[in-house]
């Protein structure tokens, strides 16, 4: 395990962790993509466990998140896709990689970004998307949408005078992410969730469209949803699955909340995902 860095499209430093297996190369490669206002630690021990199975694993923080540079709390689907493309560039340069076995594994907002990066970049040979929303704008109630539009207008007004965006409280809490109280407390101690979102993100988030990307997939896809997810509706993730035209598989993590990689059933979910990957590549 070693800390790594690579540059974004705008030369901001993106930081992450690279896990290199002890087995002989060439290695299949797995890149993790975290969710909205989160960071790479949300995947728990999954990176280490995949590395132990012979995968070259890269986890990193999107711009504006975790240890990476960039405006805090600023996120957009196209920015995340750009970061994933640069992550692919980084991993492709590793001397031990098998270029025919590169996988993206995204969770929540990162799941949608992974679908979009996969649809765009032929280097990706399979994709895993967990707890992924189809189109955020379709899930927002009219009253909440009015609040967001008012916030966008006020944000533009304030920037004319201060040249700085406003920040809004992030409505998702650790309690929303987990079914298990011990998992929730452990995540709170780690503190990987940001508590405010940059208002400049709102118009970009309203453009988010994982459904469009899902329709353009041409590689095998595994879509994962948690049974007790209180952040992303089952129907939204199922829409993503239904939109995929080619080889695909659905898996539901029983008893788990949104952050299933560190919640109830995480080991069982890992085994299922790892077995699915083995079927694709081994």
Q: What are the tens digits of pLDDT across the range 218-228? A: 999 999 999 99
The pLDDT of residue 141 is 82
Each residue's pLDDT tens digit, 47-80: 999 999 999 999 999 999 999 999 999 999 999 9
Which range has the worst mean pLDDT, 28-32, 148-152, 179-183, 269-273?
Answer: 148-152
Token representation of residue 16: 């992450």
Per CATH, which fold does 2-139+168-194+208-281 belong to?
Answer: Rossmann fold (3.40.50)
CA distances from 81 to 94, 115, 144, 242, 259 (A): 20, 9, 27, 22, 21
Residue-wise pLDDT for 82-96, tens only, equals: 999 999 999 999 999
Question: Quick one: DSSP state of residue 258?
Answer: S
Q: How far apart are CA 60 and CA 200, in angstroms?
A: 23
Q: Report how far residue 40's alpha carbon sits from residue 26's, in angstroms, rounded to the nearest whole number.
A: 25
Reading the block at residue 85, the tokens are 């493309």
Residue 282 pLDDT > 80, yes or no?
A: no
pLDDT at 103: 99
Region 152-165 average pLDDT: 93
Q: What's the pLDDT score for residue 32?
A: 99
Q: Quick one: pLDDT at residue 265?
A: 92
Per-residue pLDDT tens for 123-151?
999 999 999 999 999 988 888 889 889 99
Mean pLDDT of all residues belonging to the chain: 96
Sketch the domain layout of the chain as residue ranges: 2-139+168-194+208-281
Give the start-end residues of each E strand in the chain: 2-7, 13-19, 27-33, 56-60, 97-107, 126-130, 167-169, 196-198, 221-226, 248-253
User: What distance lies between CA 194 and its chain's CA centroid?
Assistant: 15
In this prediction the pTM is: 0.96
């Amino acid at each position: 395990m070693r800390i790594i860095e690579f540059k974004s499209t705008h030369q901001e430093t993106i930081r992450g962790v690279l896990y290199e297996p002890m087995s002989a190369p060439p290695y299949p490669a797995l890149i993790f993509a975290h969710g909205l206002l989160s960071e790479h630690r949300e995947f728990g021990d999954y990176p280490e466990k995949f590395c132990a199975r012979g995968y070259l694993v890269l986890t990193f923080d999107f711009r504006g998140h975790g240890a990476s540079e960039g405006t805090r709390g600023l996120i957009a689907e196209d920015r995340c896709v750009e970061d994933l493309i640069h992550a692919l560039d980084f991993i492709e340069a590793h001397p031990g990689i098998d270029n025919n076995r590169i996988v993206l594994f995204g969770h929540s907002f990162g799941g949608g970004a992974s679908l979009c990066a996969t649809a765009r970049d032929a280097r990706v040979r399979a994709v895993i998307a967990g707890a992924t929303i189809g189109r955020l704008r379709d899930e927002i109630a009219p009253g909440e949408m009015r609040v967001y539009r008012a916030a966008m207008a006020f944000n533009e007004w304030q920037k004319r005078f201060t040249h700085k965006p406003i920040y809004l409280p992030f409505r998702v809490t650790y309690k929303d992410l987990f079914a298990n109280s011990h998992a929730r407390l452990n995540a709170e101690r780690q503190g990987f969730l940001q508590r405010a979102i940059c208002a400049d993100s709102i118009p970009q988030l309203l453009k988010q469209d994982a459904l469009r990307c899902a329709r353009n997939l041409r590689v095998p896809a595994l879509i994962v949803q948690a049974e007790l997810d209180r952040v992303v509706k089952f129907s939204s993730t199922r829409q993503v699955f239904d939109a995929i035209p080619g080889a695909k598989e659905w898996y539901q993590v029983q008893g788990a909340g949104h952050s299933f990689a560190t919640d109830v059933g995480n080991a069982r979910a890992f085994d299922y995902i790892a077995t699915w990957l083995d079927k694709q590549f081994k």
